[in-house]
């Protein structure tokens, strides 16, 4: 309701259509350029051209893509949730199309580029067990204009010794949490009515 109440005109309420990603998306710029250069270019020729560029989809998929106007549509910005998933994914594991889109966004926004750099640095501390470098990372974040990360760093400092240990030592509480989950699952299977002896026997046999 707030969105409708704050809109100054009906045009502000219009949202661009959101399409599912297809194999044609990677060749969208080529299709747009070719259709601008030669408006009546046959679809078969476009299909041949993008196949030479690496397209592996079908002709029907390309036809539907063009008929829906997706080649000429303005690329919609990613949702915050999708952008977070891109930032949290290793660059080597990110699909080429997503990586290109992310690179464009980072190039256009300095704050976002700095945020991505700090996130990847922290991921390096986490995966490389380099807890000794945490203080230097937090010092860099303190000097940045990134309020969201300032709150994150404040939370880390509240239990700094435990965080450093978690980033350094190879131990994990995963087995303990798994055992707790198994016990709760067995209790729920018996609707909480099992006595200690029966529950003990089931846990030992599980």
d(CA 176, CA 138): 30
Determine contact, residues 88/119, Cβ cutoff 8 Å. yes
Which residues in the chain come in under a pLDDT of 70? Answer: 11-19, 69-77
Q: What is the pLDDT of residue 73?
A: 55
d(CA 46, CA 28): 11
Determine contact, residues 194/187, Cβ cutoff 8 Å. yes
Q: What is the pTM of this model?
A: 0.59
Determine contact, residues 134/156, Cβ cutoff 8 Å. yes
Q: What is the pLDDT of residue 95?
A: 81
Q: What is the pLDDT of residue 70?
A: 61
């Amino acid at each position: 309701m707030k969105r409708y109440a704050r809109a100054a005109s009906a045009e502000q309420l219009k949202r661009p259509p959101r399409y599912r990603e297809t194999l044609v998306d990677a060749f969208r710029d080529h299709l747009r350029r070719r259709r601008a250069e030669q408006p009546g270019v046959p679809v078969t020729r476009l299909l041949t051209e993008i196949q030479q560029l690496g397209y592996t989809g079908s002709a029907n998929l390309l036809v539907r893509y063009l008929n829906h106007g997706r080649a000429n549509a303005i690329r919609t910005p990613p949702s915050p949730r999708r952008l977070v998933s891109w930032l949290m994914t290793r660059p080597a594991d990110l699909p080429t199309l997503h990586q290109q889109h992310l690179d464009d966004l980072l190039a256009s926004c300095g704050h976002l580029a700095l945020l991505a750099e700090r996130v990847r640095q922290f991921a390096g501390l986490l995966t490389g067990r380099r807890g000794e470098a945490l203080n230097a990372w937090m010092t860099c974040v303190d000097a940045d204009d990134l309020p969201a990360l300032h709150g994150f760093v404040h939370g880390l400092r509240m239990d700094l010794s435990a965080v450093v240990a978690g980033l350094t030592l190879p131990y994990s509480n995963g087995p303990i949490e798994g055992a707790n989950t198994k016990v709760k699952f067995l209790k729920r299977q018996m609707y909480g009515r099992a006595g200690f002896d029966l529950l003990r026997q089931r846990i030992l046999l599980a």
